[in-house]
Structure 1
Amino acid sequence: MEYQIHPHPHPVRGPYALHMSKRRLVALVLAVVLFTGAIGVRFVLLPSLLKLPADLDASIELTGTASLVDQAAIRSFDVRNLIREDVPVTIVNNVKVVSTQDGDAVIANRSTVTGPDNAVLSDTTRNWSINRRTFAAAPVPPGSGAQPHEGLVAGFPLDVQARDYPFWDFATQTVAQARYVGTEKIGDRTAYRFNIKASGPVKDPDILKMMPPGVPLTLTASSDATYWVDASTANVLDVNQRQDVEAVLALGSFTVPLGSVFSLEAHFAPETASDLRAAAAAQERGVFLLSTVIPVGLGLLAMAFGLITAWPALRRLRRPSARPMPRVSFQPPPGS
């Protein structure tokens, strides 16, 4: 007599097995969602944030001194007091996005210079059309009032590098080089140092209209500015700038040099520079979260849920291959 054991041809599937299948399906869906989220944060959300915000409206304050023509002295023919020397001034630069189109933006750059007793010495606004990521010049939209220009006018690109950049000098309306001159520590921040020098005949209408009308003056402007730009965020951490405008009076065939009719020296106040360093540090932490921490975290969770989905298949791969069942024979004892 022989006895042989045969396995059941079909595995038994009960409620527990069905429940496990649902769990694996949910894990698979979660893995896909988390992986997609990691890709979206790193390659969609982060690039969308690393450009000029569409709702930007920011102001920054500089302090310094200025020497300038006293309009009251001109009206009273007070030649001895025509130039006011070393007047303490405050400069507020405001940058506001006026409109956006595709990857470009039109910004209004307003500069207000006030003297003692909050007297407004100058108040000018210039519109520029720039690329929201590189800050380079963009085509001027019709009716925007933006001035044509070349190079940078509103800071440095967000992926700032240790190299030279073309910069627009609005006074002479020419391109000057923002020359990289070294890397330095500003507080606890690493900064690239750039120096910009420009000179030439004044062509900016906002400067020309400050001169007394009807007087045959030829103006020449020169500027020397140093910027310390955060190496990680491209925020300007500090600035020292000087601008001079010299005039020559034409009297028939003679010219009379009048010397400087306007000069300005300005820099960030210590508390402003401190606030800018803190803002750069906070921005760097936010970029690190979006570029590394959150995508890696979501990716690891996606891998964990993917492992849950693939675990049964992995277990089957690790099991030894099935061997044929041995044949069991029963022999009755002799004489039975």
Structure 2
Amino acid sequence: MRESGNPAAATAAPGTPRTASPLSLILLGVGVFLLVLAPLLVRYVTPRAAVTPVDVDVTTVFTGTGSYFDTGSLTTRNGQRITITRHVLGDVAASEKSGRAVWDVSTTVDTPPTLALKDPRRAFQWTTGRWVTDRRSNAPVHCCGEAPGRYDGDAYLKFPFDVQKKTYRWWDDTLGAAVPLRFAGTTRVQGYPGYRFTGTVPAARTGSRQVPGRLVGRPEQGQIQAEEWYANSGITLAVEPRTGRIIDASISPLKTLRAPGSRNDAVTLLHGHDLEFTPATQRAQVGLAKADSDKLALVSRTLPAGAAVAGGVLALAGGLLVARGRRPGGRI
């Protein structure tokens, strides 16, 4: 018999082995790799990305009106502008050595006369601290020369990652104790969404100070150890849910003096009425929160989802080509 002269009509001889093309094997291998990578990103990469940064250098500013005690005239001045400036600087060397987040914090309270001096040593009030926390849980860690030396709570200068709609214990440095802040709904700051937490601090004694007796209603005593009291009628924090970064804040601190054993305030040292983040501080905090949140979303959601979808498509295509045993360009 004569063989057909049409090459396209030729068929493979029976029993001829079919081989998988290199392309089909590459597609299958890449697909399987991406399918394995997706859960690894969620299980191993995300927890390592959700850690408190150590190279921080952030300044936040509260402003508002209030009252303060003028030591020059020995009177309380009302309706004055109060400014609270907090500078947080990460100690990178100590953080890397200890594996913790070590932050040095400087807080100044200024009135109009002291604000113009631009010197924390001459501020109305200046305090410093050294905060050390676990980088993943945000829990306090007692090491590295922290100050105060004893503190507790869930949240300090930030909240833990993946903020929940529940009550957190916020450390109030002036009080020297943690206070409950309850979830109070959602809010938006500069157009950016956040969780809102609120709380108050009932009046509590925080220390003592030597003053002339007449200041606290004891004129018969030249000098007296007056009691220092502190309260806060309103703490409101707006928190970015994924990172725990505070994007807005409002506080109403009240610091007073009382005669020993008295239940009544004799002198108002400082009273701030709804001191709030400035718009510039809000914008800066929102920018930092958004950048951090986007990075976490990338490794915890976008990349795993993309890897799973792409891996599934490539593995399916590669598997079909391997099963059919066709070379690239062959008939299907």
- TM class, shorter-chain normalised? 0.7 to 0.9
Deviation at residue 95 of structure 1 after TM alignment: 2.3
Pick closer, same or farther for the CA change 1:23–1:254 going to 2, 3 Å.
closer
Large movers: runs of 4+ above 6 Å: 7-10, 253-256
In the other structure, the counterpart of 2:271 is 263
Conserved? CA contact 1:178–1:196, under 8 Å = yes
User: Are 1:112 and 2:108 counterparts?
Assistant: yes
**Cα–Cα, structure 1 residues 112 and 284, in superposed 2: closer, same or farther, change >3 Å?**
same
Alignment CA distance shift 1:274-1:145 (3 Å) = closer
Q: Please point out which of 73, 76, 85 is paired with 2:78.
A: 85
Instruction: Classify 1:44/1:57 alpha carbon distance in 2 versus 1 (closer, same or farther; 3 Å).
Output: farther
Counterpart for residue 147 of structure 1: 149
Shift of 1:201: 0.6
CA distance in 2, matches of 1:279, 1:171: 26
Structure-2 change in CA distance of 1:87 and 1:37 (3 Å): same
Is residue 226 of structure 1 aligned with residue 236 of structure 2? yes
What residue in structure 1 maps to residue 133 of structure 2? 130
Q: Which has the larger radius of gyration?
A: 1
Deviation at 1:35, TM superposition (A): 3.6
**CA drift at 1:221:** 0.6
Question: How far 1:178 moved relative to its partner?
Answer: 0.7
**1:10-159 paired onto structure 2 within 5 Å:** 11=16, 22-71=22-71, 73=72, 78-79=73-74, 82-98=75-91, 99-100=94-95, 104-116=100-112, 117-119=116-118, 120-138=123-141, 140-141=142-143, 143-151=145-153, 152-159=155-162
Please list, as runs of the form range in 1=range in 2, the aligned pairs for 1:144-293 lying within 5 A after superposition.
144-151=146-153, 152-186=155-189, 188-198=191-201, 199-203=203-207, 215-223=224-232, 224-250=234-260, 257-265=265-273, 266-293=275-302
Q: Distance in 1 between matches of 2:272 and 2:172?
A: 15
Task: Return the offset for 1:159.
Answer: 1.2
Which structure has more RCO (C-alpha within 8 Å, separation ≥ 6)?
2
- The offset of 1:22, in angstroms, is 4.2
Alignment: residue pair count: 290
Q: Label 1:228 to 1:108 Cα distance change in 2 as closer, same or farther (>3 A).
A: same
Cα distance between partner residues in 2 of 1:281 and 1:195? 22
Distance 1:310 1:55, change over 3 A: same
Question: Is contact 1:61–1:268 with CA below 8 Å preserved after alignment?
Answer: yes
Q: Is the 8 A contact 1:103 1:133 kept in 2?
A: no
Q: Secondary structure at the match of 1:202?
A: strand
For 1:21 and 1:212, the matched residues in 2 are separated by 91
Partner Cα distance (1:248, 1:95) in 2? 33
Counterpart-to-counterpart distance in 2, 1:313 and 1:29: 11
Residues 193 and 226, structure 1, Cα contact 8 Å, conserved in 2: yes
Gapped runs of 5+ residues in structure 1?
A: 1-6, 317-336
Shift of 1:235: 3.1
Pairwise CA distance, 1:156: 1.7
CA distance in 2, matches of 1:33, 1:270: 47
CA contact 2:24–2:321 (8 Å) conserved in 1: no
Q: Is the 8 A contact 2:89 2:105 kept in 1?
A: yes
- CA distance in structure 2 between the partners assigned to 1:201 and 1:190 by the alignment: 37
Structure 2 unaligned segments of length 5 or more: list them: 1-11, 213-222, 326-332
Distance 1:102 1:38 in 2: 31
TM, length-normalised to structure 1: 0.71
Identity, % of aligned positions: 22
**In structure 1, C-alpha distance between the alignment counterparts of 2:159 and 2:265, rounded to whole Å:** 37
- Three-state SS of the structure 1 residue aligned to 2:48 is helix
Which amino acid counterpart does residue 130 of structure 1 have in structure 2? Answer: T
The amino acid of 1:241's aligned partner reads: I
Equivalent residue number for residue 325 of structure 1: none
**Residues 244-285 of structure 1 deviation map (CA, whole Å, 9 limit, x = unaligned):** 1111245xx999952312223410123433444455445444
Which amino acid counterpart does residue 262 of structure 1 have in structure 2?
L
Give, in angstroms, the shift of residue 133 of structure 1. 2.9
| 1:218–1:31 CA distance, 2 compared to 1 (3 A) | same
Shift of 1:297: 2.0
Shift of 1:108: 1.9
2-structure distance, mates of 1:254, 1:289: 58
